[in-house]
């Protein structure tokens, strides 16, 4: 196993990664930077060999990477990444036999990603999401209002990005309340279901979750309902694209106002978390300062346009997401089409040590490049 | 007219607004202005100025393609381009006999309006020079994505000679946003000829503008290009020239090769020797020619396309960064975007293997083949859509015809006269 900052050489024995990835008793963001660098390099080196031996496509990508190098920087900055679109077009799998497949939402892309998940990965993902979210909203289990259809977590649909995101919070739930129904133009608020849920919850604090645009639509409808004030410790989480809201010129302050308003909650009780279907189990919620933090079993690197070299703190770049969780497919280090910037190498005022970053949206499409921009026909 | 029309170069006696300027340009009497010979001489003078760098002319102009522009503007070159298409070039000056009882005279069509794409900055100069040589007035809308390549040239031309001054006074250069409907309509309605350069969206937008019923349209639209090489007949210098054709405009030009078919098979001496030279030249020329700064989507695409090539069974040769990529593929992969110095190399053993991959929207096929193969291949590939077969190093050299279009015919009015008493 390589732990000295060098990529392992081909043919080196690939031990099965320890299933016990997490350090007992250690908070997700508490590992000191120097210790985290060694921890990550060790786990990532292990994962690289693990996936090389089991996934021939990934092995070919590694051969290229090792021949031409991953540029400058420390071990993690030079670690190979797979562009996320590859998971839409190729079946990359590191386990034999039947495994579950999670598909991305096809709302913003023509083709869905296919991410394989085995039992061991699912356990790691669940534990990871649990630790991260507990750090932000506490470990206390509460009633869970889901701004989605119940069918979204049933059967095959549970393996959609929406289903996976809903279930990522399941460990915090004492009971589920689904409050949307299928309408003529898609999912819409079911006022009866909402009233039934609130009657049962009473004045206890709750958690709620919905895809960003669905949560917004539902709360616009709720503005006309006479709702009781929520317990001030209640929290409303959301994730997913902002594209439709940007088209409606709805920014985060307006969004938070619309969603917190009907409940009488402070706007900061609305928490946006960033995540990707290629990195299930890795929610990145906003802290009180509006930034996202990286636990010790993961890293986030932003890469410059033009060169893909690591961007310095403060400079926007393409987001590379790294986590030690995936065992069923080599989606442990992916280059996304999202833009973000590292805000603090350390010292976020929220008190969490280590790196914090800001998600800045999808990278804009390239301008049409001219008279050569044409399919061969 | 909205102030959003930015004047870049304004003729000596402009109208009061953009529409007025266009009207003044179109209606100015040109019968007494300079003839074709004087115009060609003035453009030749501009070529000399570019060569000598007089008056710091080269400063502010893009370095890529400047040497070719200088060669293009030479009088003998322009005469040769005209002669390729017009059997009696003297008809540009007077009626000349074209048969026992007929004479021909070629006259300028009037106002030629050019919409220039931002991808190759010098494109505007080529179509402008041919049009001006033939005696037309010109209005040029530069892309907001490109610098002003016209003003330095027009300033130099105006200072050189009275005829140079006439040509520059017959030229209006502006820039405005592509969504500026009022300006787009004004320019289109004033045009006797519209020349549209660019991708599908750009040329469709221009073709959709209202225009005179007799306006001539010249569309240099979206096309792709390729190369076919036999390693047995290509010299190392020509390999470098071929790579320059690919690298020079970051493959943003429709004449930039995207796929190179190479005779032979991998691991065979001839093929591998060629690939060694090709790869070496690619690294060298990529360093020699500055690339535009890639945006995030372009950079992501390079990383993605390298992965696609590898996962599709190809072999990728590349630099350690994002400067250049050569993907050796069994067949051209449609999903791979051959832009920004990313080229696919496809081995072939028989020319017949190539024809299915020649698209109908092909433009240029750079060739280096034995004479017999060249004859057979060019005949077949021309039927399939290829418009030109230049040698390595000439892939991006603008010439007449271009895209299969004879430019002189489109920019002139053909007048015939029966000779009396014969």
Segment B335-351, tens digit of pLDDT: 898 889 999 999 999 99
Domain with residue A226: its CATH number is 3.40.50
Residues facing residue B126 across a β-bridge:
none
Angle between helix B36-52 and B150-160 (nearest 10): 110
Token pair of B315, please? Answer: 């072999």
Looking at the fold, whether B202 and B316 belong to one and the same domain comes out as: no
End-to-end CA distance of chain B: 55
Task: Return the ∠ at Cα A285 (arms to A23 and A208), rounded to 5°.
Answer: 110
Question: Are the beta carbons of B361 and A368 separated by less than 8 Å?
Answer: no
As for how many domains chain A has, the answer is 2
Residues facing residue A238 across a β-bridge:
A210, A272
User: Tell me, what DSSP letter sits at residue B61?
Assistant: S
Looking at the fold, whether A303 and A248 belong to one and the same domain comes out as: no
pLDDT at B55 over 80: no
Looking at the fold, whether A128 and A256 belong to one and the same domain comes out as: yes
Q: Is residue B391 part of a domain?
A: no
Owner of token pair 């040029």: B140
Domain with residue A317: its CATH number is 2.30.38.10
User: Tell me, what DSSP letter sits at residue A368?
Assistant: P
Q: Give the model's pLDDT for residue A6.
A: 44
Residue B195 dihedral angles phi and psi, to the nearest 5°: -115, 120
Could you tell me if A209 and A147 are in contact, meaning their C-beta atoms sit under 8 angstroms apart?
yes
A366 touches chain B (CB under 8 A): yes
Question: Are the beta carbons of A376 and B252 separated by less than 8 Å?
Answer: no
Could you tell me if B367 and B391 are in contact, meaning their C-beta atoms sit under 8 angstroms apart?
yes
Q: Give the model's pLDDT for residue A375.
A: 62
Q: What span, in angstroms and rounded, lies between the C-alpha atoms of B275 and B278?
A: 5
Percent of chain B past pLDDT 90, that is, above it, reads 75
Alpha helix positions (H), chain A: 33-54, 56-68, 86-89, 119-137, 161-168, 191-201, 212-222, 243-247, 252-260
Could you tell me if B156 and B46 are in contact, meaning their C-beta atoms sit under 8 angstroms apart?
yes
Task: For residues A10-23, give the mean pLDDT.
Answer: 60
Looking at the fold, whether A198 and A342 belong to one and the same domain comes out as: no
Looking at the fold, whether B302 and B184 belong to one and the same domain comes out as: no
Task: For residues B110-126, give the mean pLDDT.
Answer: 86
Looking at the fold, whether B178 and B241 belong to one and the same domain comes out as: no
Looking at the fold, whether B44 and B156 belong to one and the same domain comes out as: yes
Looking at the fold, whether A144 and A229 belong to one and the same domain comes out as: yes
A82 touches chain B (CB under 8 A): yes
pLDDT at B267 over 70: yes
Q: What span, in angstroms and rounded, lies between the C-alpha atoms of B103 and A228?
A: 94
Last residue of some domain: A248, A274, A300?
A274
Q: What span, in angstroms and rounded, lies between the C-alpha atoms of A1 and A15?
A: 8
- Report B:28-87 residues touching A (Cβ under 8 A): none
| pLDDT tens per residue, range B385-421 | 999 999 999 999 999 999 999 999 999 999 999 987 6
Question: Are the beta carbons of B296 and A375 separated by less than 8 Å?
Answer: no
Looking at the fold, whether B344 and B413 belong to one and the same domain comes out as: no
Percent of chain B past pLDDT 70, that is, above it, reads 98
Domain containing residue B166 = 6-221+403-418
Q: Give the model's pLDDT for residue A8.
A: 46
* Total count of residues recorded for chain A: 377
Shortest distance, CA A312 to any CA of chain B (angstroms):
16
Which residue of A lies nearest to B196 if distances are taken between CA atoms?
Answer: A371
Shortest distance, CA B89 to any CA of chain A (angstroms):
31
pLDDT at A106 over 80: no
Q: What share of chain B is helix, strand, coil (3-state, %, to 5)?
A: 40, 20, 40
Question: Are the beta carbons of B319 and A69 separated by less than 8 Å?
Answer: no
Looking at the fold, whether B170 and B244 belong to one and the same domain comes out as: no
Looking at the fold, whether B196 and B296 belong to one and the same domain comes out as: no
Domain with residue B167: its CATH number is 3.40.605.10
Q: A218 CB contacts (<8 Å, ≥6 apart)?
A: A147, A179, A180, A188, A189, A210
For residue A18, what pLDDT band results from cuts at 50, 70 and 90?
Answer: low
As for how many domains chain B has, the answer is 2
| pLDDT tens per residue, range A149-186 | 998 888 766 567 788 888 888 888 999 999 999 988 88
Domain containing residue A333 = 33-85+291-362
pLDDT at A102 over 80: no
Q: What span, in angstroms and rounded, lies between the C-alpha atoms of A197 and B262?
A: 69
Question: Are the beta carbons of B300 and A337 separated by less than 8 Å?
Answer: yes
Could you tell me if A342 and A130 are in contact, meaning their C-beta atoms sit under 8 angstroms apart?
no
Instruction: Please state, rounded to an integer, the average pLDDT across all residues of chain A.
Output: 87
Looking at the fold, whether B214 and B235 belong to one and the same domain comes out as: no
Q: Give the model's pLDDT for residue B378.
A: 98
Looking at the fold, whether A144 and A214 belong to one and the same domain comes out as: yes
A375 touches chain B (CB under 8 A): yes
Shortest distance, CA A182 to any CA of chain B (angstroms):
36
Q: Give the model's pLDDT for residue A71.
A: 74
B254 touches chain A (CB under 8 A): yes
- Report B:185-204 residues touching A (Cβ under 8 A): 197-202
Shortest distance, CA B242 to any CA of chain A (angstroms):
17
Q: Give the model's pLDDT for residue B421.
A: 66
Looking at the fold, whether B18 and B106 belong to one and the same domain comes out as: yes
Q: Is residue B1 part of a domain?
A: no
Q: Give the model's pLDDT for residue B314.
A: 97
B299 touches chain A (CB under 8 A): yes
A376 touches chain B (CB under 8 A): yes
User: In this structure, is the dihedral angle defined by the CA atoms of residues B403, B408, B414 and B417, taken in order, positive or negative?
Assistant: negative
B293 touches chain A (CB under 8 A): yes
Q: Give the model's pLDDT for residue A113.
A: 77
* Total count of residues recorded for chain B: 422
A13 touches chain B (CB under 8 A): no
Using DSSP, state whether B64 is helix, strand or coil.
coil
Question: Are the beta carbons of A364 and B296 separated by less than 8 Å?
Answer: yes
Q: What span, in angstroms and rounded, lies between the C-alpha atoms of B245 and A288?
A: 54
Q: Give the model's pLDDT for residue A13.
A: 45
B219 touches chain A (CB under 8 A): no
Looking at the fold, whether A126 and A203 belong to one and the same domain comes out as: yes
B331 touches chain A (CB under 8 A): no
B306 touches chain A (CB under 8 A): yes
Could you tell me if A135 and A28 are in contact, meaning their C-beta atoms sit under 8 angstroms apart?
yes
Looking at the fold, whether A243 and A352 belong to one and the same domain comes out as: no
Q: Give the model's pLDDT for residue A244.
A: 82
Here the ipTM equals: 0.87
Question: Are the beta carbons of B299 and A306 separated by less than 8 Å?
Answer: yes
Looking at the fold, whether A230 and A305 belong to one and the same domain comes out as: no
Q: Is residue A196 part of a domain?
A: yes
| pLDDT tens per residue, range A181-211 | 998 888 999 999 999 999 999 999 999 999 9
Among A306, A311, A307, CA closest to A345:
A311
Beta-carbon-side half-sphere exposure of residue B224 (alpha carbons within 13 Å): 21
Q: Is residue B238 part of a domain?
A: yes
Could you tell me if A364 and B298 are in contact, meaning their C-beta atoms sit under 8 angstroms apart?
no
Q: Is residue B281 part of a domain?
A: yes
Q: Which residue has the higher pLDDT, A247 or B35?
A: B35
- In this complex, the residue of B197, B299, B307 whose CB is nearest that of residue A82 is B307
Counting one residue from chain A and one from chain B, the pairs whose CB atoms sit within 8 A come to 141
Which residue of B lies nearest to A69 if distances are taken between CA atoms?
Answer: B320
Alpha helix positions (H), B65-144: 66-72, 75-83, 123-133
Q: Give the model's pLDDT for residue B308.
A: 97
Which residue of B lies nearest to A67 if distances are taken between CA atoms?
Answer: B320
Q: Which residue has the higher pLDDT, B382 or B202?
A: B382
Best mutation target among B118, B261, B293, B307 (most A Cβ atoms within 10 Å) is B307
Q: Give the model's pLDDT for residue B1.
A: 47
| pLDDT tens per residue, range A306-361 | 999 999 999 999 999 999 999 999 999 999 999 999 999 998 999 999 999 999 98
Looking at the fold, whether A333 and A207 belong to one and the same domain comes out as: no
Kindly state the helix (H) or strand (E) to which residue A189 belongs, with its residue range: strand A186-189
Using DSSP, state whether A364 is helix, strand or coil.
coil
CB atoms within 10 A of CB A232: 12
Which of A229-238, A246-255, A367-376, B111-120 bottoms out in mean pLDDT, i.e. has the lowest?
A: A367-376
A110 touches chain B (CB under 8 A): no
B388 touches chain A (CB under 8 A): no
Looking at the fold, whether B273 and B284 belong to one and the same domain comes out as: yes
Looking at the fold, whether A254 and A325 belong to one and the same domain comes out as: no
Task: For residues B73-77, give the mean pLDDT.
Answer: 96
Task: For residues A50-79, give the mean pLDDT.
Answer: 92
pLDDT at A214 over 80: yes
pLDDT at B244 over 90: yes
Looking at the fold, whether A136 and A261 belong to one and the same domain comes out as: yes
B184 touches chain A (CB under 8 A): no
Strands (E), B89-136: 96-97, 102-108, 111-115
Shortest distance, CA B264 to any CA of chain A (angstroms):
24
Looking at the fold, whether B211 and B230 belong to one and the same domain comes out as: no
- In this complex, the residue of B118, B197, B311 whose CB is nearest that of residue A60 is B311
Looking at the fold, whether B208 and B314 belong to one and the same domain comes out as: no
Residue B170 dihedral angles phi and psi, to the nearest 5°: -90, 10
Strands (E), B17-110: 96-97, 102-108
Question: Are the beta carbons of B256 and A367 separated by less than 8 Å?
Answer: no
Question: Are the beta carbons of A61 and B118 separated by less than 8 Å?
Answer: no
Question: Are the beta carbons of A376 and B357 separated by less than 8 Å?
Answer: yes
Q: Give the model's pLDDT for residue A101.
A: 78
Which residue of B lies nearest to A57 if distances are taken between CA atoms?
Answer: B311
Domain with residue B235: its CATH number is 3.40.309.10
| pLDDT tens per residue, range B268-284 | 999 999 999 999 999 99
Question: Are the beta carbons of B300 and A367 separated by less than 8 Å?
Answer: no
Residue B285 dihedral angles phi and psi, to the nearest 5°: -75, -30
Residues of chain B with C-beta less than 8 angstroms from the C-beta of A374: 199-200, 222-224, 254, 361
Last residue of some domain: A274, A300, A323?
A274
Which of A94-103, B121-130, B163-172, B307-316 bottoms out in mean pLDDT, i.e. has the lowest?
A: A94-103
| pLDDT tens per residue, range A296-309 | 999 999 999 999 99
A372 touches chain B (CB under 8 A): yes
Q: Is residue B397 part of a domain?
A: no
Q: What span, in angstroms and rounded, lies between the C-alpha atoms of A187 and A109?
A: 20
For residue A107, what pLDDT band results from cuts at 50, 70 and 90?
Answer: very low
pLDDT at B64 over 90: no
Q: Is residue B52 part of a domain?
A: yes
B283 touches chain A (CB under 8 A): no
Looking at the fold, whether A150 and A256 belong to one and the same domain comes out as: yes
Percent of chain A past pLDDT 70, that is, above it, reads 89
Last residue of some domain: A244, A274, A304?
A274
pLDDT at A114 over 90: no
- In this complex, the residue of B255, B296, B308 whose CB is nearest that of residue A318 is B296
Question: Are the beta carbons of A308 and B321 separated by less than 8 Å?
Answer: yes
């Amino acid at each position: 196993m390589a732990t000295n900052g060098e990529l392992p050489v081909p043919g080196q024995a690939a031990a099965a990664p320890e299933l016990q990835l997490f350090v007992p008793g250690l908070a997700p963001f508490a590992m000191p930077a120097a210790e985290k660098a060694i921890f990550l390099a060790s786990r990532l080196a292990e994962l690289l060999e693990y996936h090389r031996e089991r996934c021939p496509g990934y092995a070919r990508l590694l051969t290229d990477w090792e021949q031409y190098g991953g540029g400058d920087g420390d071990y993690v900055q030079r670690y190979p990444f797979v562009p996320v679109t590859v998971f839409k077009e190729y079946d990359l799998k590191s386990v034999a036999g039947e495994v579950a497949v999670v598909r991305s939402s096809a709302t913003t892309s023509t083709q869905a990603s296919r991410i394989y998940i085995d039992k061991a990965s699912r356990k790691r993902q669940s534990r990871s999401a649990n630790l991260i979210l507990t750090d932000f909203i506490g470990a206390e289990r509460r009633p869970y209002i889901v701004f989605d259809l119940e069918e979204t977590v049933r059967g095959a649909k549970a393996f959609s990005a929406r289903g996976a995101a809903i279930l990522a919070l399941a460990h915090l739930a004492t009971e589920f309340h689904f409050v949307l129904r299928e309408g003529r133009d898609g999912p819409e608020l079911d006022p009866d279901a909402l009233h039934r849920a609130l009657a049962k919850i009473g004045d206890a604090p709750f958690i709620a979750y919905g895809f960003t645009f669905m949560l917004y639509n539902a709360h616009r409808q709720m503005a006309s309902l006479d709702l009781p004030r929520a317990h001030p410790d209640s929290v409303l989480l959301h994730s997913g694209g902002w594209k439709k809201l940007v088209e409606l010129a709805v920014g985060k302050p307006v969004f938070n106002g619309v969603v917190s308003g009907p409940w009488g909650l402070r706007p900061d009780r609305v928490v946006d978390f960033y995540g990707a279907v290629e990195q299930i189990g890795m929610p990145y919620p906003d802290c009180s300062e509006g930034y996202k933090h990286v636990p010790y079993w993961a890293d986030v690197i932003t890469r410059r346009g033009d060169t893909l070299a690591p961007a310095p703190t403060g400079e926007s770049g393409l987001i590379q997401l790294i986590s030690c969780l995936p065992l069923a497919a080599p989606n442990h280090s992916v280059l996304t089409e999202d833009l973000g910037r590292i805000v603090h190498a350390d010292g976020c005022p929220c008190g969490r040590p280590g790196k914090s970053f800001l998600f800045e949206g999808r990278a804009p499409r390239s301008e049409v490049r001219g008279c050569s921009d044409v399919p061969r026909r | 007219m909205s102030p959003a029309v930015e004047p870049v170069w304004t003729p000596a006696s402009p109208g009061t607004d953009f529409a007025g300027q266009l009207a003044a340009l179109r209606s100015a009497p040109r019968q007494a202005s300079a003839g074709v010979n004087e115009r060609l001489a003035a453009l030749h003078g501009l070529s000399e100025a570019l060569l000598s760098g007089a008056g710091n002319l080269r400063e502010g102009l893009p370095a890529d393609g400047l040497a070719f522009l200088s060669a293009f503007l030479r009088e003998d070159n322009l005469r040769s381009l005209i002669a390729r298409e017009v059997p009696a070039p003297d008809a540009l000056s007077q009626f000349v006999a074209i048969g026992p009882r007929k004479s021909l005279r070629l006259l300028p069509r009037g106002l030629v309006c050019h919409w220039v794409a931002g991808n190759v900055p010098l494109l505007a100069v080529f179509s402008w020079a041919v049009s001006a040589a033939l005696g037309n007035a010109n209005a040029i809308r530069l892309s907001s994505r490109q610098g002003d390549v016209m003003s330095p040239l027009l300033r130099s031309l105006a200072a050189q000679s009275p005829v140079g001054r006439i040509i520059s006074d017959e030229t209006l250069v502006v820039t405005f946003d592509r969504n500026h409907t009022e300006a787009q309509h004004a320019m289109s309605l004033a045009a006797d000829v519209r020349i549209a350069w660019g991708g599908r969206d750009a040329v469709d937008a221009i073709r959709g503008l209202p225009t005179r019923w007799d306006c001539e349209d010249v569309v240099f639209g979206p096309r792709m290009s390729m190369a076919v090489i036999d390693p047995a007949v290509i010299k190392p210098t020509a390999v470098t020239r071929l790579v320059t054709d690919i690298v020079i405009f970051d493959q943003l030009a429709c004449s930039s090769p995207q796929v190179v078919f190479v005779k032979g098979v991998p691991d065979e001496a001839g093929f591998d020797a060629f690939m060694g030279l090709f790869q070496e030249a690619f690294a060298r020329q990529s360093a020699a020619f500055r690339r535009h700064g890639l945006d995030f989507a372009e950079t992501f695409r390079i990383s993605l396309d390298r992965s696609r090539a590898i996962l599709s069974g190809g072999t990728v040769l590349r630099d350690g960064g994002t400067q250049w990529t050569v993907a050796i593929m069994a067949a051209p992969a449609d999903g791979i975007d051959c832009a920004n110095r990313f080229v696919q190399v496809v081995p072939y053993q028989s020319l017949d293997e190539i024809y299915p991959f020649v698209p109908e929207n092909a433009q240029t096929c750079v060739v280096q083949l034995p004479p017999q193969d060249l004859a057979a291949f060019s005949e077949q590939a021309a039927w399939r859509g290829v418009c030109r077969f230049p040698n390595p190093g000439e892939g991006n050299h603008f010439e007449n015809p271009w895209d299969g279009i004879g430019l002189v015919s489109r920019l002139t009015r053909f007048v015939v006269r029966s000779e009396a008493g014969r």
